[in-house]
Amino acid sequence: MMDRLIARTLFVPTLVWNLLLVRLIPARRWWDHVDPQVILGALPFTAHVSRLHKSGVRAVVNTCDEYAGPIAEYTQVGIEQFHMPTPDFTHPDLADVERAVEFVQSHAEQGHTVYIHCKAGRARSATVALCWLVRHRGLSPEEAQEKLLQERPHVKRTVWQRPVVTAFADRCRQETPAATD
């Protein structure tokens, strides 16, 4: 409960900080493609929806507890949102990550682009994107972390070490039968 209160109190100041960083540091963008079908980024404002839709986005994973997203605008253009409220400065739980990864994959299989976001596109959303890369692109957590950092350098560098990522990767390994000679 205290985590949620702190996160909500810090929401506006840290959002303003993120906006400032994007303006001051040219390499820091609001969103980045991390795969042809997955965009990882910061929370989209109403003004972003049309541009995202024109880019092929038909689905959004919103990991923000503190921001419901521009739902009416999504509905107008036919974007489906999966909302998994996760307080800022924490990580999502395994069940939510599983559901989010399957949501992303169901849209990827239809040829859609999926926008995965948290407030800054660095940790909560990166957790989901990293886990999707592990399950559906066959990368190890370390390889997926490197892929994220190549495409979005300000992703938190230790996402791959989160307990939820380790548990997710372990589950993926158990699902994949070992190769036999």
DSSP 45: P
Range of the domain at 171: 2-175
Query: 55 lies in a domain?
Result: yes
pLDDT at 168 over 50: yes
Query: For the chain, what is the domain count?
Result: 1
pLDDT at 2 over 60: no
Task: List, by residue number, the catalytic residues.
Answer: 118
Query: 119 lies in a domain?
Result: yes
pLDDT digits (tens, 9 = 90+) for 10-48: 776 676 677 677 777 777 788 999 999 999 999 999 999
CB 43, CB 118: distance < 8 Å: yes
pLDDT digits (tens, 9 = 90+) for 132-144: 999 999 999 999 9
Which CATH number fits the domain that encloses residue 22?
A: 3.90.190.10
Q: Which pLDDT value is given to residue 101?
A: 99
Which among 89, 118, 124 has a CA at the least distance from the CA of 10?
A: 89
Q: Is the pTM of this model over 0.75?
A: yes
